[in-house]
């Protein structure tokens, strides 16, 4: 299965916001920090020159483009778009073997070790998760289909016995996996060492720590 927690985290991110074509494997997101984390994982397996980055820029935001994108990869394509609220990014590499590898991981999530499951959920939460300001209410992860939501529900029960429920939003055609208020803080504490989002929300607790 996965080599370590950093690969499990990358798997969670990819399951949440993954990009793939016939031979391309990558991540799409509006958060540049997540793009950088994913690029860091890709650089463990590929040379800097192999990575590709597309940047989609709303016409009103041209001047807001970050100046350090060349640190992520050498080849950057910038595309202007009219109807968009945010700058968005797509980091990828052309690799059929890596795409097959991650598709295999996704199909066999139940084989992950407990610590790998936690790192995987950190990636899922960073990509498609949210929580209220009290870190208890409305802790949820969004899914596009019920099969993935059910699989993750079973994983959370397996690893910590967390109580969860799935709610369908018909208008958005999405499914939300909600973690019980009684388990919310424990879940967030579990993913804290791996989660970029939680490191931002709780900088004092993670001071001096480095992303896994």
* pLDDT band with cut points at 50, 70 and 90 for residue 3: very high
The pLDDT value given to residue 209 = 46
**What is the token pair recorded at 19?**
């990009």
**pLDDT exceeds cutoff 50 at 212:** no
Question: What is the domain partition of the chain in residue ranges?
Answer: 24-94, 111-201
* pLDDT per residue as tens digits for the range 108-124: 999 999 999 999 999 99
**Residues 85-103 pLDDT 10s:** 899 999 999 999 999 999 9
211 or 135, which is more confident?
Answer: 135
pLDDT, tens only, 29-87: 999 999 999 999 999 999 999 999 999 999 888 778 888 899 999 999 999 888 888 99
Distance CA 210, CA 185 (A): 21
Q: 116 in helix, strand or coil?
A: helix
- The H or E element containing residue 130 is strand 129-130
Q: What is the pLDDT of residues 102-111, one digit of tens each?
A: 999 999 999 9
- Predicted model pTM: 0.91
Q: What is the model's pLDDT at position 208?
A: 43
- Confidence (pLDDT) at 206: 42
Q: Does domain 111-201 have CATH number 3.10.28.10?
A: yes
Q: Which helix (H) or strand (E) holds 80?
A: strand 75-81
CB 44 within 8 A of CB 52: no
Q: What's the whole-number mean pLDDT along residues 195-206?
A: 76
């Amino acid at each position: 299965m996965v080599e370590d927690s950093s690969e499990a985290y990358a798997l969670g991110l990819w399951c949440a916001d993954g990009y793939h074509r016939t031979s391309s494997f990558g991540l799409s997101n509006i958060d540049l920090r997540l793009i950088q984390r994913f690029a860091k994982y890709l650089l463990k397996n590929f040379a800097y020159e192999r990575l590709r980055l597309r940047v989609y820029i709303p016409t009103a935001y041209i001047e807001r483009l970050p100046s350090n994108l060349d640190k992520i990869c050498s080849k950057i394509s910038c595309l202007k778009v009219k109807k968009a609220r945010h700058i968005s990014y797509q980091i990828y590499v052309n690799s059929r073997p890596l795409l097959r590898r991650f598709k295999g991981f996704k199909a066999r999530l139940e084989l992950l070790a407990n610590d790998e499951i936690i790192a995987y959920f950190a990636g899922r939460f960073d990509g498609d998760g949210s929580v209220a300001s009290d870190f208890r209410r409305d802790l949820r992860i969004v899914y596009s289909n019920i099969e993935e939501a059910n699989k993750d529900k079973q994983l959370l029960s397996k690893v910590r016995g967390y109580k969860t429920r799935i709610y369908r939003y018909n208008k958005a055609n999405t499914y939300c996996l909600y973690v019980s208020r009684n388990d919310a803080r424990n879940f967030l504490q579990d993913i804290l060492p791996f989660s970029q989002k939680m490191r931002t929300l709780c900088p004092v607790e993670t001071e001096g720590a480095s992303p896994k």
